[in-house]
């Protein structure tokens, strides 16, 4: 393991098999190293092709904290550039999305075409021969690749390709796209965004943590149960079952499977059972079966994973067509961008259900999300104001259930997914 430049500190000393040191959440120098060594080399989900259907369409996104610009060129190709003017380094596209065949910088109006070439410079005659235009096109992100329409980008010119990086997690993306009778999805053009004053890793440590739900979300689970079962005059949307399911007994979550995969990825089995199946309406099923055959349609709908983590950049819920991008902005500030996918060929009701689910479980107004955000912010304040301490990640250690190829199977209540994340984290951080 390499020693890096943080006060001569060996970052690997902050990670044990059974515990992590709280310094990793609050130290800006460690954050800088994460940006360079983890987010600087991983394949990060930046968007979906449906966000840029026509030449000149663009959306902004991030690789880690770095702003990037996804644009479809006049040649039909999708490219990813750093969202930075090559003149004085101003942000080129200020809006989250738009459409333009010429990108004009808001500072001094340097202008680029949709292929990123510099095509106009103000007072260009005063530069004489000192401005080689060809050197000042937009800087492209080193590698860009798509998997079933989802666009991933990688800052590093060398390293494993997207499919190697995803490995088994291609099935996570399949779990969304396969559900579309027309074998394609579009993302709703306006994503939900929220920020919390906490480290990005807190999100990844939370989203496969099944046992916090019955504690942290107990109040809302009880309220939802009252609506569903009590004499309350309110719509009984199936998404309420999501809240109630959070309060299932621990033995239920223990029985679920948690799957960990190389590169820090993981997911766990669904916990909604038959309670939440708005997609299995007759019309939808008939369309899916007509496209794929009856048996395959049943197989697709039977996939029941709750939350999938494609470490370190995105989280996925295929059954609810929700995808989240996690953008670390500072050591103590994180932005989460949430997309809802529309299944092409499915009845509109399927999409409406996904939107309602997203509002209930994933938006900044969701009572579930706000419970978690409050806890993240308190964790952050405490790790910043108290002395560094060891935080255990040993639940379920030594109790692996099985192995399938390069994947491990654990109990649904195990912290094996956190240990798996820190294996990937340590490996990335060790390489200069």
Tokens 């669904």 found at: 270
Find the shortest distance in angstroms from Cβ 123 to ligand FES: 11
Find the shortest distance in angstroms from Cβ 90 to ligand FES: 4
Q: Out of Fe ion, ligand FES, none, which partner does residue 127 contact, by CB within 5 to 8 A per kind? A: none
Residue 279 sits in the site that holds Fe ion (CB under 5 A): no
- The SS3 assignment for 362 reads coil
Question: Looking at 17, 53, 94, 107, which residue binds ligand FES (CB under 6 A)?
Answer: 107
Q: Out of Fe ion, ligand FES, none, which partner does residue 87 contact, by CB within 5 to 8 A per kind? A: ligand FES
Q: Out of Fe ion, ligand FES, none, which partner does residue 147 contact, by CB within 5 to 8 A per kind? A: none
Beta-strand (E) ranges in 92-184? 97-99, 102-104, 111-113, 118-120, 143-147, 150-154
Q: Please say whether the beta carbons of 351 and 387 come within 8 A.
A: no
Please state, as a whole number, how many other Cβ atoms lie within 10 Å of the Cβ of residue 164: 11
Find the shortest distance in angstroms from Cβ 244 to ligand FES: 53
**Rounded distance between C-alpha atoms, residue 181 and residue 96, angstroms:** 30
Nearer to Fe ion, 307 or 393 (CB): 307
Q: Please say whether the beta carbons of 214 and 250 come within 8 A.
A: yes
Residue 110 sits in the site that holds ligand FES (CB under 6 A): yes
**Rounded distance between C-alpha atoms, residue 158 and residue 143, angstroms:** 9
Q: Out of ligand FES, Fe ion, none, which partner does residue 234 contact, by CB within 5 to 8 A per kind? A: none
Q: At what angle do helices 367-385 and 348-361 cross, to 10 degrees?
A: 40
Find the shortest distance in angstroms from Cβ 207 to Fe ion: 8
Query: What residues contact 129, with CB distance under 8 A and at least 6 apart?
Result: none
Nearer to ligand FES, 123 or 274 (CB): 123
- The SS3 assignment for 65 reads coil
Find the shortest distance in angstroms from Cβ 91 to ligand FES: 9
Nearer to ligand FES, 107 or 390 (CB): 107
Q: Out of ligand FES, Fe ion, none, which partner does residue 372 contact, by CB within 5 to 8 A per kind? A: Fe ion
Of 324, 362, 318, 360, which is closest to residue 343 (Cα–Cα)? Answer: 318
Nearer to Fe ion, 372 or 379 (CB): 372
Long-range contacts of 383-391 (CB under 8 A, 24+ apart): 383/22, 383/23, 383/25, 383/26, 383/199, 384/26, 384/332, 386/22, 388/21, 388/22, 388/23, 389/21, 389/22, 390/16, 390/19, 390/20, 390/21, 390/22, 391/19, 391/20, 391/21, 391/22
Total residues binding Fe ion (CB under 5 A): 1
Nearer to ligand FES, 71 or 361 (CB): 71
Residue 188 sits in the site that holds ligand FES (CB under 6 A): no
Total residues binding ligand FES (CB under 6 A): 9
Residue 372 sits in the site that holds Fe ion (CB under 5 A): yes
Nearer to ligand FES, 17 or 108 (CB): 108
Residue 133 sits in the site that holds ligand FES (CB under 6 A): no
Find the shortest distance in angstroms from Cβ 246 to Fe ion: 8
Find the shortest distance in angstroms from Cβ 122 to ligand FES: 7
**Rounded distance between C-alpha atoms, residue 35 and residue 175, angstroms:** 29
DSSP-derived pairing of the beta strands 314-317 and 305-310: antiparallel
Only segment of 108-116, 125-133, 271-279, 286-294 that touches ligand FES (CB under 6 A): 108-116
Find the shortest distance in angstroms from Cβ 84 to ligand FES: 9
Please state, as a whole number, how many other Cβ atoms lie within 10 Å of the Cβ of residue 101: 10
Q: Out of ligand FES, Fe ion, none, which partner does residue 110 contact, by CB within 5 to 8 A per kind? A: ligand FES
Q: Please say whether the beta carbons of 380 and 394 come within 8 A.
A: no
Only segment of 87-95, 302-310, 346-354, 364-372 that touches Fe ion (CB under 5 A): 364-372
Q: Which residue is nearest to Fe ion (CB)?
A: 372
Phi, psi (deg, nearest 5) at residue 403? -140, 135
Query: What residues contact 164, with CB distance under 8 A and at least 6 apart?
Result: none
Report 46-105 residues binding ligand FES (CB under 6 A).
85, 87-88, 90, 105
Report 338-397 residues binding ligand FES (CB under 6 A).
none
Contacts to ligand FES by CB under 6 A: 85, 87-88, 90, 105, 107-110
Contacts to Fe ion by CB under 5 A: 372
């Amino acid at each position: 393991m390499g020693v890096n430049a943080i006060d001569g500190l060996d970052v690997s000393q902050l990670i044990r098999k059974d515990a992590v040191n709280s310094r990793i959440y609050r130290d800006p120098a460690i954050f800088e190293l994460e940006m360079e060594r983890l987010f600087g080399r991983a394949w990060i989900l930046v968007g979906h092709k449906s966000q840029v259907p026509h030449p000149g369409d663009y959306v902004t996104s991030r690789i880690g904290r770095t702003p990037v610009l996804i644009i479809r060129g006049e040649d039909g190709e999708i490219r990813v550039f750093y969202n930075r003017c090559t003149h004085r380094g101003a942000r080129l596209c200020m809006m989250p999305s738009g459409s333009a065949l010429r990108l004009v910088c808001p500072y001094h109006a340097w202008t680029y075409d949709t292929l990123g070439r510099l095509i106009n410079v103000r007072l260009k005659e005063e530069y004489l021969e000192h401005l080689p235009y060809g050197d000042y096109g937009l800087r492209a992100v080193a590698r860009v690749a798509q998997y079933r329409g989802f666009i991933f980008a990688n800052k590093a010119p060398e390293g494993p390709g997207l499919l190697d990086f995803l490995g088994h997690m291609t099935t996570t993306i399949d779990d969304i796209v396969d559900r579309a009778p027309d074998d394609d999805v579009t993302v709703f053009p306006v994503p939900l965004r929220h920020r919390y004053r906490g480290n990005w890793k807190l999100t990844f440590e939370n989203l496969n943590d099944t046992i916090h739900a019955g504690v942290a979300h107990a109040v809302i689970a009880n309220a939802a149960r009252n609506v569903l079962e009590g004499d309350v005059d309110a719509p009984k949307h199936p998404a309420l079952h999501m809240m109630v399911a959070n309060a299932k007994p621990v033995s239920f979550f223990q029985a679920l499977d948690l799957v960990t995969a190389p590169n820090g990825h993981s997911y766990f089995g669904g916990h909604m059972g038959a309670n939440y199946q708005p997609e299995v309406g007759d019309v939808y099923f008939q369309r899916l079966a007509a496209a794929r055959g009856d048996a395959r349609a049943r197989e697709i709908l039977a996939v029941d994973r709750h939350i999938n983590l494609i470490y370190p950049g995105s989280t996925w819920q295929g059954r609810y067509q929700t995808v989240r991008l996690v953008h670390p902005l500072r050591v103590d500030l994180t932005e989460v961008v949430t997309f809802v996918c529309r299944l092409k060929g499915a009845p509109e009701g399927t999409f409406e259900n996904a939107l309602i689910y997203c509002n209930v479980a994933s938006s900044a107004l969701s009572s579930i999300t706000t419970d978690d955000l409050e806890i993240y912010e308190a964790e952050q304040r405490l790790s910043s104001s108290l002395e560094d301490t060891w935080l255990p990640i040993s639940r379920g250690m030594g109790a692996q259930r099985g192995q399938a190829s390069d994947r491990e199977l654990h109990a649904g209540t195990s912290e094996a997914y956190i240990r798996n994340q820190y294996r990937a984290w340590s490996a990335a951080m060790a390489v200069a």
